[in-house]
Structure 1
């Protein structure tokens, strides 16, 4: 289904802190994915917290602190390299990943289970998260 495709430059991910794009999975569903820095490279994760499916990036970049992706609604923190969460309402869960590779400073989508649709998120008219977290950015 998927084809190896250049997404963006590592420099862009590092400068912006994350990079958002939309894919279609094998079931025909559109899904948002974020590319985040990880130990000099990158990883790609579903743009949804495992607790209540809250989006991390609502068009302003994913909130990342100390190499952890932060859920803007309840503050659960996911390791940017492993996708694992060990705190808050999402504790003991792991973000679904999407396969990407870094080559010569560019990020490539390599996941055969998804098809790249476009840069940015699904335009669903959502006004963003309704935060109950004590964490501010």
Structure 2
């Protein structure tokens, strides 16, 4: 089933658009980020948590995930993830890849097309006490 998430204009060039899905019986946060390559399309959706330790990439404060040079930066340890593949080749999260969801762009809209997830709402999940927002002093 295809579900509209947002318009392509709402996904920032730098940063992320945060949303919540129901997946495997639990609410999970994902982020949409700009990718812009021919293989992956103009946007990708990744789980909003660093695979190294439970740390939100987009802290839900309206600023989106920290980004630098086409990479998502983990605010805890500074590991960076490619916005097209989700792969990290540095820092504490080296050799990991962010879990993703299948999305597609049709016209000016972004749709969730992943059968493993059901769109709940934009923004953070309502019960987000299980993950710290940040424990770092990294700034971008």
- Gaps of at least 5 residues in structure 1 are none
Q: 1:82 to 1:12 in 2, by over 3 A?
A: same
CA contact (8 A) 2:30 2:48 kept: yes
> For residues 105 and 49 of structure 2, what CA distance do their matches in structure 1 show?
23
Runs of 4 or more consecutive aligned structure 1 residues displaced over 4 Å after TM superposition: none
Give the number of equivalent residue pairs: 132
> For residues 43 and 70 of structure 1, what CA distance do their matches in structure 2 show?
15
CA contact (8 A) 2:14 2:67 kept: no
Q: CA deviation at 1:125?
A: 5.5
**1:24 corresponds to:** 22
Farther off after superposition, 7-16 or 87-96: 7-16
> For residues 107 and 125 of structure 1, what CA distance do their matches in structure 2 show?
25
CA contact (8 A) 2:14 2:34 kept: no
> For residues 114 and 29 of structure 2, what CA distance do their matches in structure 1 show?
14
Q: 1:16 to 1:87 in 2, by over 3 A?
A: closer
1:103 aligns with 2:101: no
- Gaps of at least 5 residues in structure 2 are none
Secondary structure of 1:130's partner? coil
Q: CA deviation at 1:29?
A: 1.2
The alignment's TM-score, normalised by the length of structure 2, stands at: 0.88
Q: Deviations over 1:3-22 (max 9, x none)?
A: 31111111110357311100
Secondary structure of 2:92's partner? helix
